[in-house]
Amino acid sequence: MDRLSLNQITTKAWSLPEAVRGCAEAGVGWIGLWRDKVAEVGVDEAARLVREHGVGVSSLCRGGFLTGVEPDGSPVDGVAMTKEAIGEAARLGAGVLVLVVGGIAGNDLAASRQRVADAVGELAPLARERGVVLGLEPLHPMQCAERSVLSTVDQALAIAAEHPADAVGVVVDEFHVWWDPRLAESIAAAAGRIAGFHVCDQLVPLPDPLLGRALPGDGPIDHRMLRARVEAAGYTGPIEVEVFNAELWRQPGDEVLAKVIRAYRDHVAG
Amino acid sequence: MDRLSLNQITTKAWSLPEAVRGCAEAGVGWIGLWRDKVAEVGVDEAARLVREHGVGVSSLCRGGFLTGVEPDGSPVDGVAMTKEAIGEAARLGAGVLVLVVGGIAGNDLAASRQRVADAVGELAPLARERGVVLGLEPLHPMQCAERSVLSTVDQALAIAAEHPADAVGVVVDEFHVWWDPRLAESIAAAAGRIAGFHVCDQLVPLPDPLLGRALPGDGPIDHRMLRARVEAAGYTGPIEVEVFNAELWRQPGDEVLAKVIRAYRDHVAG
């Protein structure tokens, strides 16, 4: 239980103070924060709250959009946005900033991927200086066009490996990568580079590209096997439960957190 | 233009006789048939119609579900179903039977994949004897749970390579594999093994796992580059335009076919 982290998106109905207090009261020692929720109270107050409640910040979501386009296609300076996010992560004591690298720009997949690699090269020294690891998170291929031209652990590792391990790592999120036939090999190859492990399940049938997630145990993913793989690759840090699910989002935060704890106990831990 | 094939699902409003006649009138020399549409008129009548109109059958969709489960989770004897489909393909003069191998069974991905490999081994001799190539089509990872535990060209090739090339091949469908960072290498590795090439685009934003397809040119996929890759790997056969799109399905078949021809000319051929 000491590795369980609540990714804040899972309890979307909760504000940051409610989520931090909820974790402390439930004995959950870690939380993954989102920048929009942090902004509602301010970075300093958020940092104070997690310290006061003794809750560790496993990661901050998120930097990225390094291809220069938002999911809706509008232009964005992802490098500038990520520099800001690195500073926030440092102030919050988050060791990892999760990067969603951005979707395809100009209908050129190869060039978009190169832009990501170049931008990570530009950002890595700053991240290292601030004590924050950039966590490259491959996203499910169904989000390739809009959110992430990195789709596999292999790809994320290829970029991370160009930089020191305390500057750039790989975040393994089960929902995004469970189907990958090369997953076992690529996680093993990422030994010493895994900066985060996110668990959740997939709804079957998959209703929607974004909200098709479920609590661990409610879908086809073998969580204990994947946990064993990331552990064999040296990752023993916090395990975030991160579930985008419209039905869960309508429920009160404390009820959702109780379900998270149960799902983690029954399907991930032990 | 002599390589364009209308995959029948694209003109869903048309019956088989309408689609065959439509192709002949529009000067489209190939059609990809679906078993449900064939069943409406009977295999012999369908075979007679394509012969009479001088339209070649580029493939029959589909055999498969070799993991033993339908998309809705109900059990199915995919091997028996596929044996039947091999016979139909032979009678229709379709050189290729497209296989959708089936989703995850018993929440065991590795075992489900092994079941597919075993079933293909059982079916390959019959296919070869009947002059039909089993076309293993990797499906997009978002369909891994429900429809296909084969998600990449690499995976399909690994199974196909165990058998003679005139018994088992790989069908490359752009929608399913365009995002794959290993696509260039895996298509090259599949030289001499490519049994079909399906073109279409992806809607952005992706609205739905099944119907998120568009005509070539209406999305981020680089069709000429992918065509060049499959040609470099030795595939010079028919190119099927296969679009699952609810809006297109509401339109009259002849209007849809005119759009297919234009999209193919503007974005795939030449």
- Structure confidence by residue, pLDDT tens digits, B79-90: 999 999 999 999
pTM of the model: 0.97
Could you give the 3-state DSSP secondary structure of residue A59? strand
What single-letter amino acid sits at B26?
A
- Copy the structure tokens of residue A137: 């998170």
User: Residue B83: which domain range?
Assistant: 4-267
Residues 6+ apart with CB under 8 A from A225: none
For residue range B78-120, list pLDDT tens digits in order: 999 999 999 999 999 999 999 999 999 999 999 999 999 999 9
pLDDT for the residue B265: 98
Contact (CB<8Å) B181/A220? no
Residue found by looking up tokens 């990958």 in the block: A180
Q: What is the pLDDT of residue A37?
A: 98
When scoring A142, A210, A222 by the number of chain B Cβ atoms within 10 A, the one with the most, hence best to mutate, is A142
How confident is the model at residue B270, as a pLDDT? Answer: 82
The parts of chain A modelled with pLDDT lower than 70 are: none
How many domains does the structure of chain A reveal?
1
State yes or no: pLDDT of B26 exceeds 90: yes
Query: Does an H or E element contain A117, and which?
Result: helix A109-129
B52 CA: distance to closest CA in chain A (Å): 42
Give the amino acid at B200. C
Tokens 């520099």: give the residue: A83
Per-residue burial over B10-37, b if 16 or more Cβ lie within 10 Å, else e, is bbbebebeebbbbbbeeebbbbbbbbeb
Q: State the smallest CA–CA distance between residue A179 and chain B in angstroms.
A: 6
* Chain A CA closest to residue B152: A181
Of A155, A182, A209, the CB nearest to B142: A209
Is the pLDDT at B208 greater than 90, yes or no? no
| B44 exposure class (CB count in 10 Å sphere: 0-12, 13-18, 19+) | exposed
Residues B98, B60 contacting (CB under 8 angstroms): yes
DSSP chain B: -TTEEEEGGGGTTS-HHHHHHHHHHHT--EEEEEHHHHHHH-HHHHHHHHHHHT-EEEEEEEEE-TTSB-TTS-B--HHHHHHHHHHHHHHHT-SEEEEE-B--STT-HHHHHHHHHHHHHHHHHHHHHTT-EEEE----GGGTTTTBS--SHHHHHHHHTTS-TTTEEEEEEHHHHTT-TTHHHHHHHTTT-EEEEEE-EE-SS---TTT-EE-TTSSS--HHHHHHHHHHTT--S-EEE----HHHHTS-HHHHHHHHHHHHHHHT--
Q: Token pair of A49, please? A: 């709250």
- Give ∠ CA A206-A211-A217 in degrees, rounded to 5: 65
Position of tokens 């749970």? B145
CA distance to partner chain A, nearest, from residue B119 (Å): 19
pLDDT of res. A32? 98
Positive or negative CA dihedral for A213, A219, A220, A225? positive
CA B263, CA A182: separation in Å to the nearest integer? 35
Q: Name A34's bridge partners.
A: A61
Over residues B34-39, the mean pLDDT reads 98
Q: In this predicted structure, what is the pLDDT of residue B87?
A: 98
- Give the contacts of B130 (CB within 8 A, at least 6 positions apart): B86, B87, B89, B90
Decide if B3 contacts B28 (C-beta within 8 A): no
Confidence of residue B202 (pLDDT cuts 50, 70, 90): very high
- Residues in chain B within 8 Å Cβ distance of A141: 140-142, 179-180
Cβ distance B89 to B96 under 8 Å? Answer: yes
The single residue listed with the structure tokens 């102030």 is A91
The pLDDT value recorded for residue A208 is 87
Chain B contacts of A180, Cβ < 8 Å?
Answer: 141, 151
Sign of CA dihedral B142, B143, B148, B153: negative
Evaluate whether B78 touches B67 at the Cβ level (below 8 Å).
Answer: yes
Note whether residue A246 is domain-resident.
Answer: no
d(Cα B169, Cα B195) in Å, to the nearest integer?
5
Query: Which CATH number characterizes residue B186's domain?
Result: 3.20.20.150
Three-state DSSP state, A7:
strand
β-bridge partners, B173: B198
**C-alpha to C-alpha distances, B21 to A148, B3, B18, B27, nearest whole angstrom:** 43, 18, 5, 10
